Amino acid sequence: MRFPHAHRGVRLIFIAEIVALASAVVALIAAVFVSIASSGNTAVANSAGTMLLVASIASIVVFVIQLVGLIMGAKDSRDFRIGLFVTIVGLAAAITSAILQSLPATKGLAPIVFAILDTVATVADLIVIICVLFGISSLAAALGNGEMEEQGRRLAFYIVIIYIVSLIFGLMPGFNGYVNPGIALLFSIFSIAAAVIEIFIYVTTIIYLYRATHMLE
C-alpha cells in the first residue's frame, strides 16, 4: 500500500458522506412530519422533533469524521492539506456568524455581514469536496489508474457547474413578481431538474469515494 494515510482518510470521508446522506433522508422525513403535525397531531410532532435532533447530531458526527479523514489524507496528499485548511476557514466563518447573531451587541449588524460569513462557510464545503476529488485523482495518477484520475477531475468539474446553476436558480424565486408567469414556471422546472442532477452527482461522488478506497488498498 503506497498511500496508507490517504486510504484511511478517503475511507473515513466515504463513511462521513454515507452518514450525511442518511441524515439528509431523516431530515426530509422530519420535514414531511412537521407539515403533517401542523394540523395538530402531537405524536407526529414529537416524532419530527426527535428526527430533527438525530439529524443535527449526525451532522456533527459527519463533520468530525470528515475532519479526521482530511487530517489522515493530508499526510499523503497536498490537495487534502488544502481541503483541511479550507475546512478550518469554513468552520471559523460558521462559528463567527453564530456567535455574532447570538450576542445582543452584534445582533443588529448589517445582514450582509452574516450573508458573507454564511457564504464563506457554504463555499468552503464545496472547495473541500473539490480538493478531495483532486487529491484522489492525483493519487490515481501516481498509481497509474487513468480511469479514476479522469473521473475524479470530471466529477469536480460537474460539481462546480451544478453548484453555480443551483445558485442561479435559487435566486430566481425573488424575481417571480417581475417576470411572466410562464417564465417563472420554467425557472421552477429548471430548478427541480438541477436538484435532481445534483442528487445524481452526489450519489456518483459517493460511489467514486467507495471505488477510491479500494484503489488505495
pLDDT at 144 over 90: yes
pLDDT at 173 over 60: no
| pLDDT, greater one: 141 or 176 | 141
CA–CA gap between residue 148 and residue 125 (Å, rounded): 22
- Averaged pLDDT of the chain: 84
What nine digits make up the cell of 162?
Answer: 451544478
Give buried/exposed letters for 201-213 (b at 16+ CB in 10 A, else e): bbeebbebbebbb
pLDDT at 93 over 80: yes
pLDDT (0 to 100) of residue 209:
95
pLDDT (0 to 100) of residue 157:
93
Lowest-pLDDT range of 41-55, 140-154, 196-210: 41-55
pTM: 0.83
Residues 6 or more apart from 99 whose CB is under 8 A from it?
106
pLDDT bracket for residue 145 (50, 70, 90): very high
pLDDT at 65 over 90: yes
CA–CA gap between residue 83 and residue 147 (Å, rounded): 23
Give mean pLDDT, residues 53-69: 90
Q: What residue segments make up the domains of the chain, in order of their start? A: 4-215
pLDDT (0 to 100) of residue 43:
67
| pLDDT, greater one: 56 or 109 | 56
